[in-house]
Amino acid sequence: MLILGIDTSCDDTAAAIVEDGRKIISSVVSSQDDIHKKYGGIVPELASRRHIELIWPVVTEAMARANVIFDDITAIAVTNGPGLIGSLLIGVCFAKSISFVNQIPLVAVNHLEGHIHAIFLEASPDFPFIALVVSGGHTSLYRVDAFGAYKEIGRTRDDAAGEAYDKVAKLLGFGYPGGPIIDIISLKGDPQAINFPKANLTGSCDFSFSGLKTAVLNYVRKHPEASKEDVSASFQSAVIEVLIERVSEAVKSEGVKRVVLSGGVSANSAFREKMGRRAIKDGIELFLPSLYLCTDNAAMIAAAGYRHFTQGNFAKYDLNPKAYLPLVSAAG
């Protein structure tokens, strides 16, 4: 079965062809970083306009690379939320159109469910597992008992970790997206140079990053001479410490020693290394997707879409995108 996945939830236009939910035949991601760079963040209106221009070429490219035509496609899987509403609208309208014209079944995929499914393109973790989705828009922990069975056990109460990375990078005068830049700059800094606050929401698996972001801003205003490398490394160390502590808390509270990481921030080199060491120490089975599967892509949407297809969970043509779309179990 060949699934065409489409994702336009944020600022990347992505399409992929995936076989049986596991094997990537082709995956195309057209980044809009150059457009948004000069604003230090995503400009939603510019993102949706660019999706309109790119959606056909990106889907055509994914099909050409896979050497397939519409007749070969079993189903079309499209992200219908959460994300930027104008961006989502382009992907959903496009997917509905090609589904209708070519009479190909349509399935809707929650973007967070897509991130969690990225790992199935490379590995086969047993259920249950703890899933951390840590990206520019989300920082959430789930207990996953089966395909489609999700229990949220923690979430950010304010900013997402990736958002904090992007905002700190902006205030330090780095480019966009900030995460990969801070990742590299931090290699030259001292992570213990500045003791930034770590929100300690005792007894909970929730996160909070807005206080940390403000603390970095206040520190930089007070100490304009501070080394950017040290500020970056210390900020990153605070984020990573919180992420690892909450994952450990979730492992303990759920009694599940299996963890899957996903989302753009899980591409962070220091986080991967430290989480890896912690997993060995605590006897946790850790699953880390390759870097290109951590950040937004459509292969993960096709992988999740395949499960919906096999469960007969089809979308109708009244499908609409939703900016806010919590990940809930298929049963409700």
Q: Which residues bind Zn ion (CB under 5 A)?
A: 135, 296
Which CB atom, from 104 or from 301, has the smaller least distance to Zn ion? 301
What, of ligand KG4, Zn ion, none, does residue 240 touch, CB below 5 to 8 Å by kind? none
What, of Zn ion, ligand KG4, none, does residue 268 touch, CB below 5 to 8 Å by kind? ligand KG4
User: In the bound complex, what is the minimum distance in angstroms from residue 173's beta carbon to ligand KG4?
Assistant: 16
Write the CA distances from 186 to 180, 181, 228, 324, integer angstroms.
Answer: 10, 8, 9, 33
| First-to-last C-alpha distance (Å) of the chain | 27
Which CB atom, from 154 or from 179, has the smaller least distance to ligand KG4? 179
Question: What distance in Å separates the CA atoms of residue 124 and residue 139, rounded to the nearest whole number?
Answer: 23
Which CB atom, from 2 or from 294, has the smaller least distance to ligand KG4? 294
User: In the bound complex, what is the minimum distance in angstroms from residue 179's beta carbon to ligand KG4?
Assistant: 2
User: In the bound complex, what is the minimum distance in angstroms from residue 27's beta carbon to Zn ion?
Assistant: 14
Task: Write down the residue that tokens 């230090």 correspond to.
Answer: 40
φ, ψ dihedrals at 100, nearest 5°: -70, -50
Which CB atom, from 73 or from 299, has the smaller least distance to ligand KG4? 299
Question: What distance in Å separates the CA atoms of residue 193 and residue 229, rounded to the nearest whole number?
Answer: 10
Question: What distance in Å separates the CA atoms of residue 47 and residue 177, rounded to the nearest whole number?
Answer: 14
Two structure tokens written together for 253: 């509270």
Which CB atom, from 230 or from 254, has the smaller least distance to ligand KG4? 230
**Footprint on this chain of ligand KG4 (rule: CB under 6 A):** 10, 135-137, 162, 165-166, 177-180, 183, 263-265, 267-268, 295-296
Phi-psi region of 146 (alpha: psi -120 to 50; beta: other; left: phi over 0): beta
What, of Zn ion, ligand KG4, none, does residue 40 touch, CB below 5 to 8 Å by kind? none
